[in-house]
A and B are shown apart, each in its own frame.
Chain A
Amino acid sequence: MSNLKNQTAAFISTYASDTSGVCSALYELGGMTIMHDASGCNSTYNTHDEPRWYDFDSYVFISALTEMEAIMGDDGKLISDIVSAAKELKPKFVAVAGTPIPMMTGFDFKAIANEIERQTGLPAFGFDTNGMHTYVSGAAKAFRAVADRFITDKLGKTSGLSVNLLGATPLDFSVNSSLQSAKELLTENGIETVSCLAMGSDLSEIRRASSARVNLVLSYSGLDAAKLLQKRFGTPYVVGRPCGAFGKRLMADIKAADRTGKNAVGFAGSSEGDILIIGEGVFAGSLAAAIREETGRKAFFASATEFDDGLFGEADVIARDEAELRPLIGKSRVLIADPLYKPLCRGMGIRFVPMPHEGFSGRIFRKDIPDLTRSIAPLLEQL
């Protein structure tokens, strides 16, 4: 039996789910994404996980699954409803993302996608998400699928240094200036952005991604797509998010990757103690690296979302539950994390520095989410 106590959260929030991750990743690409669920996932997604919902129309719907349809395995209604909507709305592709009940009923995502594709003539995807993983997992599946299906033509590389940005969703970048700042930083360093998977680029831009010389993986959700593109086109990748002084290191890593063809993970190298950062792995790791570089203090991170051991420094860990996080917090002097983690510091005598994260607290602290691309000074003032 698993350690059941690890699954309780007396005090803290929870991350956006893999189902939302799929929807968020595909939001701007002109497709139609269906959460295969009864209800609830849609309002959670469009209220807490999708800051673009009010202003930017995207076809994200719910299948409105009922008990009888689930018990009887009535996939025909789902297919019929999707085909009918697709014929009317004319999306560029169709995606079906799963939730707990389809997982339990053994829903065949691949077969359903094939049938939808056959009936509509549109590219169709089936994502076996189940609402039991974080948005990072779902977005990773979606980005990989988009890369696999739409980035197929081997185009000539750009003459100058160029990148694709992989793994961008508002769940990590919110809708402030962070992503734009990253693009501007690249431009200032003579690096062209060919496409961004997937904020601010449409499918036609993404189809040109093979012309980029390097892929910059901005969050862990972009890593699988980067690996696929490396396999398909030989494009090396660099993992990291521009963040204060770490941004310079990242630019150097991109140039080195272009020269050598080798991948790079610039933020590894932590040692335990002093400052703990909890969050999405690539951002938390990049921020830790920036703090180490700018202050000389020991900073390490706990990835509370899916991550890869190969990207860790010595002290970094994956930890998502209160039971796992408490000991780490107890060993630190400063915790940098989303404000909804603050209750875990109670009685610990450590300094808490809020770092709102859309993927954790949703819209609650959106206006306080900082753009740390150029400078982490506002954060350092609180350490």
Chain B
Amino acid sequence: MLKRINGTDPFLASIKISDAKYPAPFPSQLEYGCPARGTWNIVHTGFLIPQAHEIFVCAEGCLRGVVLTAAEMNASDRFSTVEVREQNLLDGDMEQLIIEGVTDILGSLDYKPRAVLVYTSCIHHFVGCDLGLVYRTLRERFADIDFTDCYMTPIMRKSGLTPDQLMRQQLYSLISLREKDPKKINIIGNNLPTDKACELFGLAQEAGYEIREITDCKTYDEYQSLGEASANICFNPVSKCSGEELEKRLGQKLLYLKTSFSYDEIEKQLSALCGYMGVRTPDFSKSRERCENALRQTREIIGDAPVVIDYTAVLRPLSLARLLLTHGFNVTAVYADGFTGEEREDFDFLKMHFPQLDLFPTVNVRMRSVCRTRESKTLAIGQKAAYFTGTRNFVNIVENGGMYGFEGIIKLCGLISDAWTSEKDTRRLIQIKGMGCGCV
């Protein structure tokens, strides 16, 4: 098979942060998809509901990716499909197709799921499919199964909530209203379990609170018991809508404790939690000191080596870049196609104090043919950054890797040191879908 020999100058695709516009430094044009696949998709996320079955209703081309996602995570027995064909558009029988298709599938399964997630697609949106009728009928036919509406509608990604946001919202839509336990709090909106060593758990325990999240649930009943919490902690920007919906529907107070790599911002979030629990905010100076030590030791290990960061690794890449740059690390590039609202202050800071920082897109067509090696040993944080620089020294995480707070910074320093001293099989690791979901 033919193989690439080299590539074009990567800096043809990049822009200095000093010249970049916030929040979208690059124009929206044709898009390229690089082979780093560790981020989760809506199939992976839906399977977080225990004892639930997923049914996707869409065209063959749209089914292909989700069917094989399920197969790769060895979850095909919890996954079925209804294929939309041309005649369904002409016959106008889309509602019947969904109802009869789901009925047929539920009659064929070897087990009875507690819940069914029915995913409709862009087509249904465009033909004005009466989803209300569909779900009413299904709930009547299968009174002992909970149904919820999920969406694979990428064409709507710039029209309100993105499919990822919608999925994270619908993930909790089956939780019923329950009597509240004032001492229970959920963490919501994450695909990966939150590191139990982070300050959230310690503070809650000391105050007599219990924190749980969907990743702890092994049964559908345990999932339902998330409805007993009085409040939901959310720190992923794309999941904020989930918390707002639960606050409205179940009356669970939303504690949006945004993720950050700034000591002051972290302390502010933890103080908010203490305020909710009615306890005094502890002195975090020791935590700050431990972070400083960890950063210093890590800096000593990797020296002036170039560090590159991508947006799939951490929820706030610019905040991380700022932390590392202000602690002497040689962060040379951030790979991101755009930034969330929470990154504005970090963007402006970096623009002013580190104007030479390069911003690289990940989907721009130029990225298809750029040189994917670097002359000097490079430390990457994230799979896309590793792919585009060709390094085997990378921190293999997605979505913050479950890290949060001061402990998150300390843990990340450890991962950086490990990545610097131990090479990884980048090619193999980054092509595994849905990191941490069970795919191998």
Contact = CB atoms under 8 A, between A and B. Distances in A.
Our verdict on whether A and B bind, yes or no, reads yes
Interface residues of B, number: 67
Given A2-B85, A13-B68, A44-B68, 16 more contacts: A1-B96, A4-B96, A7-B84, A14-B63, A15-B60, A16-B64, A39-B157, A47-B65, A47-B68, A63-B30, A64-B28, A66-B158, A130-B61, A132-B85, A132-B86, A362-B68
B111 to A, nearest CB: 11
B62 A40 contact: yes
A2 B88 contact: yes
A4 B158 contact: no
Interface stretch (A83-91, A146-154, A281-289): A83-91
A361 interface: yes
Contacts of B65: 40, 43-44, 47-48
Interface stretch (B99-107, B223-231, B249-257, B339-347): B99-107
B154 interface: yes
Interface in B230-270: none
Contacts of B286: none
A67 B64 contact: no
A329 to B, nearest CB: 15
A373 interface: no
Contacts of A37: 154
B288 interface: no
Nearest to B121: A100
Contacts of B89: 104
A352 interface: no
Interface stretch (A54-62, A161-169, A228-236): A54-62
A100 to B, nearest CB: 5
Contacts of B368: 57, 59, 61, 89
A341 B7 CA distance: 41
Given A42-B31, A100-B59, A52 B64 contact: no
Contacts of A14: 60, 63-64, 67, 81, 83
Contact of A34 (B4, B28, B30, B125): B30
Given A48-B64, A57-B369, A104 B71 contact: no
A24 to B, nearest CB: 13
Contacts of B67: 9, 13-14
Contact of B60 (A5, A17, A64): A17
Contacts of A63: 30-31
Contact of B154 (A8, A15, A39): A39
A132 B127 CA distance: 16
Q: Which 10 A-B pairs have the closest CB atoms?
A: A131-B61, A17-B61, A44-B65, A38-B155, A39-B154, A38-B154, A10-B108, A61-B30, A131-B59, A81-B29
Interface stretch (B32-40, B136-144, B198-206, B276-284): B32-40
A47 B433 contact: yes
A56 B3 contact: yes
Contacts of B60: 14-15, 17, 131-134
7 contacts: A7-B88, A8-B83, A20-B61, A37-B154, A47-B35, A52-B2, A88-B366
Contacts of B121: 100
B123 interface: yes
B432 to A, nearest CB: 10
A190 interface: no
B373 interface: no
Nearest to A2: B87
- Looking at B30, B68, B81, B96, the one whose CB has the most chain A CB atoms below 10 A away is B30
Interface in A332-378: 340, 343, 361-362, 364
A68 B96 CA distance: 28
Nearest to B72: A364
Contacts of B28: 64
B29 A10 contact: no
Given A47-B37, A52-B1, A85 B365 contact: yes
A38 to B, nearest CB: 4
A145 interface: no
Most B C-beta atoms less than 10 A away, residue of A5, A16, A40, A82: A40
A328 interface: no
A7 B157 contact: no
Interface in A1-38: 1-2, 4-5, 7-11, 13-20, 28, 34, 37-38
Given A54-B431, A66-B159, A19 B4 contact: no
A101 B83 contact: no
Interface in B101-123: 101, 104-105, 108-109, 121-123
Nearest to B91: A1
A53, A70, A101 — most chain B CB neighbours (10 Å):
A101
